[in-house]
Amino acid sequence: MSSWRNCNCQQCRIRGLMGPALLITIGVLFLIGEYSAYSFGQLAPIILIVIGVILVAKALASSEGHVGP
């Protein structure tokens, strides 16, 4: 079981955002790919940027009150 699921510290909360944020990003990109001149393949690097932003936010957040290893 992943440790971040049962911890309430800021770092672990932000870590929990990763999945939903990626799903939303991919969904939005597919929509944009369908209805604009840009294709999904062209916009895919935005996924990397979103992962990067979340990792940085996680690294910047406090881990006070972290539970688990």
Asked if 1 interacts with another protein (CB under 8 A), we say no
Residue 30 makes CB contacts below 8 A (sequence gap 6+) with 40
Asked if 18 interacts with another protein (CB under 8 A), we say no
Residue 69 makes CB contacts below 8 A (sequence gap 6+) with 3
Residue closer to another protein (CB basis): 20 or 45: 45
Residue 65 is given by DSSP the state T
Pick one of 18, 21, 32, 43: the residue that binds another protein (CB under 8 A): 43
Q: How many residues does the chain have?
A: 69
Pick one of 1, 19, 20, 45: the residue that binds another protein (CB under 8 A): 45
Residue closer to another protein (CB basis): 23 or 52: 52
